[in-house]
Amino acid sequence: MTTYAIEAEGLQKSFGDTKALNGVDLFAKPGTVHAVLGPNGAGKTTSVRILATLIKADAGHARIGGYDVVKQAERVRATIGLTGQYASVDEDLTGMENMELIGRLLDLSKRDARARAAELLEWFDLSEAARRPAKTYSGGMRRRLDLAASLVGRPSVIFLDEPTTGLDPAKREDMWGVVRQLVGEGSTVMLTTQYLEEADALADEVTVIDRGRVIANDTPLGLKRVVGGQTLTVQPSDPARLAEAAALLQQVSGSKAESPRQGVVAVPVKNDSALTETVARLHAAGIGVHELSLHLPSLDEVFFSLVGRRAGDDAAPGDPKAGSLQQTADAEEADARLTV
């Protein structure tokens, strides 16, 4: 019956005077990765906590795998795995003890709990550290143990709350690999992130939220189209040839080059051949470069495009009145752009 693994409509939640969520809708199809993208304090974690039955929404409703998160909370809990800043392992216990405890709480027999624990620790490369207390683990190991602990019950819906925040790039890639594998095995993953790059690497669909509201819901490609593709940045090794490089970039992309910082020119590009063409032209012109990069718009740029302000400019988050009018107007504007 269920067409969505995760469905939430009109979620509202206030903490005291602060409106954390103000009508959030989220839908994820089974077997997909859904990213919830937004800056700190946007309401990402609150959304996940409601969906994971940890807190109740003031208004709106949500279903996981067809089960209502309030009325059928226990069924939901048997369906989900939760990893994040809010669901942690016990630091005093070893990796193995943590995993076995979860197994026992999920009604596995002692033997099965141990076997499942060993299997997951092996998968997450924690076998050697299995007998050490979790507080001796590095940040990356802790994160892997957290994730492993949430997978003991073979959940079909997995929530990852900022799974890679604070991880170095190599560890982040590892985590991405794990997410892809989970989805490959048929699970549905909802992850929150502050990085568009991460949403882009993993997600089938992205919901951008800000100040408790959904401001965009699209595929990563669709989102990037809204914000205008990638940016190509060049830093000539000879600063004197900056103008030349700028002109060259302008020819390749057809848009005006800007200088975001001293000695660097950047230009928005839409097609994939821009980088190779630029390299060829720079070579032909004999311009050496210190830096040449093609990068996705940052979350900040996405934000700027969607709501017309920077992600960091949070006008009094505790005062909903101050931002609400502006917010509505901005959101409508964003919608208008998305429908184009």
Partner 1 sequence: MTTATFANAPTTGAKPFKLIRHSAALAKRSLLKTMRTPEALLDVTLQPVIFLLLFTYVFGGAIAGSQSVYLQYLLPGILAQTIAMSATAIGVNLNTDISKGVFDRFRSLPIARSAPLVGAVLADFVRYALVAVITLSVGYAMGFRIHTDPLQAAAAMVMAATFALALSWVSVCLGMIARTPGSVQGMMILLVLPLSFGSNTFVQTSTLPGWLQAFVNVNPITHLAGLSRSLFLGGPVTSHLLWTWGWIIGLTAVFMPLALRAYGRKV
- Chain residues in the site for partner 1 (CB under 8 A): 1-3, 5, 30-31, 52-54, 65-66, 74-75, 77-82, 85-93, 97, 101-102, 104-107, 133, 149-150, 153-154, 156, 186-188
Q: Which is nearer to partner 1, 73 or 338 (CB)?
A: 73
| DSSP assignments along 136-187, one per residue | GS-HHHHHHHHHHHHTTT--SEEEEESTTTT--HHHHHHHHHHHHHHHHTT-
Instruction: Give the C-alpha separation, 34 to 207, whole Å.
Output: 8
Tokens of 194: 């502050």
Query: Smallest distance, Å, CB 78 to partner 1?
Result: 4
Query: Smallest distance, Å, CB 116 to partner 1?
Result: 13
Q: Which is nearer to partner 1, 66 or 317 (CB)?
A: 66
DSSP 87: B
Tokens of 158: 């997995």
Q: Which is nearer to partner 1, 30 or 263 (CB)?
A: 30
Q: Which is nearer to partner 1, 93 or 115 (CB)?
A: 93
Distances (CA, A) of 237 to 192, 226, 285: 39, 33, 13
8 A C-beta contact, residue 67 and residue 75? yes
In the chain, count H helices and then E strands. 12, 13
Q: Which is nearer to partner 1, 91 or 332 (CB)?
A: 91
Query: Smallest distance, Å, CB 208 to partner 1?
Result: 25
Q: Which is nearer to partner 1, 102 or 178 (CB)?
A: 102
Beta strands in the chain (DSSP E): 6-15, 18-28, 33-37, 59-64, 67-68, 80-84, 157-161, 188-193, 205-210, 213-218, 230-236, 265-269, 289-295
Query: Smallest distance, Å, CB 306 to partner 1?
Result: 31
Q: Which is nearer to partner 1, 29 or 337 (CB)?
A: 29
Q: Which is nearer to partner 1, 43 or 268 (CB)?
A: 43
Query: Smallest distance, Å, CB 80 to partner 1?
Result: 7
Query: Smallest distance, Å, CB 20 to partner 1?
Result: 17
Angle at 195 between CA 35 and CA 54, to 5 degrees: 50
Instruction: Give the C-alpha separation, 235 to 153, whole Å.
Output: 51
Query: Smallest distance, Å, CB 119 to partner 1?
Result: 17
Query: Smallest distance, Å, CB 33 to partner 1?
Result: 14
Tokens of 295: 């990068």
| Residue that the structure tokens 């990638």 belong to | 230
